Structure 1
Amino acid sequence: MEHVEQSVAALSALVGKGGVLVLSGAGLSTESGIPDYRGPSGIRRNAQPMTYQTFTRDPIARRRYWARSHLGWRTIARAAPNAGHHAVGRLEGLGLLTGVITQNVDGLHQAGGADGVVELHGALDRVVCLACGELSARGELDARLGTANAGYAAVAGEVNPDGDVDLTDEQAADFVVVDCTGCGGLLKPDVVFFGETVPALRVQTCFELVEKSAALVVLGSSLTVMSGRRFVVRAAKLGLPIAIVNQGPTRSDALATILLDAPLGAVLSRVAWDLRG
């Protein structure tokens, strides 16, 4: 406990200097009821994410995805920001942050009061047409899917990290998929699927945020995939102090100036309280 208190105090001192860039991952949203991929043990959960190649090439897999995602969206849409999200919003309000890079697609940073958020992997509350590129609100698609599947009887179970639920092939077989109202093209959540690359301009924006910051604070990410870890590597090369707050080990623990394994909501609330002004 003494070690935790010392680490929290060190984190407060670091953030209090200002110029801090936040990099957040799925572990920040678990207290809002959205599971992460690995959990505190670091062992990957069984959820198998959809790949871009499968989604675009396999109509049956795409129908199964939309059936699962349609049911899971209700949980994502109802999720509320937790103490950690609110704390990040307060720290931004105090002028201590240069920005927030999030690997999450749940929109909870913005709901928690943060404005300067770069959604590295996109957002589930938007839908994009792969043919014409038109963006639309997920709520609109949800209503259309609800109308097209008025008699659909499958029941949602626990939501997965991608915002979908587990269904058998038989449960998904009768689901009706709808297409773009403008051109009839395939619709996809405006998120980066596995096998898809993050837009280059978005990545460049994130690197620019790292380079203009005085410190990097990682919240709730195991940093297993390079998509987010590359910004930690860049910060280390620039000699920036790096704080990692996560439940369980991360791939970049060796690069951390401050390493804190503790519940994020409590830690961040404490930091925001210490720096309330």
Structure 2
Amino acid sequence: MLDSLIHEQLDQLQQLIADEPFAVLTGAGISTPSGIPDYRDNQGVRRGCQPMMYQEFLSAPESRRRYWARAMLGWPRVRQAQPNVAHDTLARLQSTGRIGGLITQNVDTLHDQAGSHDVIELHGSLHRVLCLDCARRSERDSIQQLMESQNPYLEGVDAVQAPDGDTLLDPAFEARFQIPLCPHCSGERLKPDVVFFGENVAQHTAAKALATVEKAAGLLVVGSSLMAYSAFRLCRAVVDQGKPLLAINLGKTRADDMLDLKIEMSCEQLLPLLAQRLNP
């Protein structure tokens, strides 16, 4: 049973997005039910250790060795993750024209796997690997196979999972790790095709996301604290246009004082209820 406040807010949400398609922006909160850890708690405070910064990754082979050793153990969870009911619901709402463009901060491709189309991956995808030397891309699975064959000593090592395919690995396991080389040019500066902390979103991606929210009737944020500026700026753009800014999120967001409506309920519970009302 929904309490009276949630019931009233759900009525408001339905009325606001019933007539014209809203753009949707998703964050880590939509993928936690699929077993992928998030970066922040309900107060927007980062959990655990500081993630590796972009300049640190670039600075030395030791940094890349540390990253890839941990990521090799974290990749299976990301690869095996399946879309949950929230991803599935957004795909259905998009297919029926109830929502417009879909933008995600997540790097897990679960929206694509659920059947959403033209998803704007604001922060890239862990399923691809980019060579910083030759600029060619490889499938992550092929790089994973290479790392596993070169580093059999890590087989069976248990590491605590962290966000975005990272793990908390004892440094003693990192020193022997063989960094994978690019299969195209043999360069050793391979990087997951994602936006690191301290790195800018690609200009064309940022422009596409901005154009998507500018042509939509409003923006619905799902499962994001909006602490990353790349997402927050989209909210500001919507507000500057005088269009509604809505959120389904458990806990604090950076845009709380800008929101026209905020429903504090898990998205995998609320989105199916919304879909039932919009597509009876």
Q: Under a length normalisation based on structure 2, what TM-score does the superposition of the two structures give?
A: 0.95
Corresponding position: 1:60 with 2:62 = yes
Matched, 1:78 2:75: no
Deviation of 1:42 (Å): 2.8
Query: 1:102 & 1:47 partners in 2: Cα distance?
Result: 23
CA contact (8 A) 2:160 2:169 kept: no
Percent sequence identity over aligned pairs: 40
- Residue aligning to 1:248: 251
| Aligned-residue offset at 1:154 | 5.8
CA distance in 1 between counterparts of 2:270 and 2:77 reads 26
Q: Is the 8 A contact 1:126 1:189 kept in 2?
A: yes
- Whole-angstrom CA distance in 2 between matches of 1:178 and 1:98: 39
Aligned-partner residue type, residue 195 of structure 1: G
User: Hey, what does 1:110 align to over in structure 2?
Assistant: 112
Contact in 1 for aligned 2:33/2:84 (Cα 8 Å): yes
Do the aligned partners of residues 87 and 75 (structure 1) sit closer, same or farther apart at CA in structure 2, a change above 3 Å counting? same
2:220 maps to which residue?
A: 217
Specify the code of the residue in structure 2 equivalent to 1:178: P
1:7 aligns with 9
The superposition leaves residues 167-192 of structure 1 with CA deviations (integer Å, 9 ceiling, x where unpaired) of 12101122111111221221110001
Q: Could you tell me how far 1:104 is from its partner in structure 2? A: 0.5
C-alpha separation between the residues in 2 aligned to 1:50 and 1:199?
Answer: 19
CA RMSD of aligned residues (A): 1.3
The DSSP-based 3-state class of the residue aligned with 1:46 is coil
The equivalent residue for 2:193 is 190
In structure 2, the partner of 1:233 is 236
Say whether the 8 Å CA contact 1:154–1:171 is kept in structure 2.
no
| CA displacement, residues 230-254 of structure 1 (integer Å, 9 cap, x when unaligned) | 0000000001111111110111111
Deviations 1:122-156 (A, max 9, x none): 00000010011101110110111111112324623
Cα separation, 1, equivalents of 2:117 and 2:150: 36
Q: d(CA) in 2 for partners of 1:267 and 1:113?
A: 19
Counterpart contact for 1:128–1:188, Cα < 8 Å:
yes
CA distance in 1: counterparts of 2:158 and 2:21, whole angstroms: 43
> Is the counterpart of residue 181 in structure 1 residue 183 in structure 2?
yes
Task: Write the letter of the residue equivalent to 2:247.
Answer: I
C-alpha distance in 2, partners of 1:161/1:178? Answer: 22
**TM-score, normalisation: structure 1:** 0.96
Which runs of 5 or more residues in structure 1 are unaligned? Answer: none
Give the residue type in structure 1 aligned to 2:129: V
CA distance, structure 1, for counterparts of residue 153 and residue 196 of structure 2: 29
CA contact (8 A) 1:19 1:213 kept: yes
- SS across alignment from 1:198: coil
> What is the count of residue pairs matched by the alignment?
277
Alpha-carbon shift at residue 157 of structure 1 (Å): 2.9
Letter aligned with residue 147 of structure 1 = S
Aligned-partner residue type, residue 105 of structure 1? V
User: Contact 1:49 / 1:162 at 8 angstroms: preserved in 2?
Assistant: no
Q: What is the identity, as a one-letter code, of the residue corresponding to 2:26?
A: S
Matched, 1:31 2:33: yes
3-state SS of paired residue (1:151): helix
Q: Is the 8 A contact 2:44 2:227 kept in 1?
A: no
Once residues 224 and 217 of structure 1 are traced to their aligned partners in structure 2, the CA distance between those partners, rounded to angstroms, is 16
- Render the CA deviation track for 1:199-250: whole Å, top value 9, x for unaligned: 1111111111111100100011111121100000000000111111111011
Alignment check: 8 A CA contact 2:27 2:224 kept:
yes
- SS of 2:165's partner is coil
What letter is aligned with 2:269? A
Cα distance per residue 1:1-37 (max 9 Å; x no partner)? 2111111122122232232100111111111111111
Q: Which runs of 5+ in 2 are unaligned?
A: none
Question: How far off its partner does 1:196 sit?
Answer: 1.1
Please tell me whether residue 45 in structure 1 is matched to residue 54 in structure 2.
Answer: no
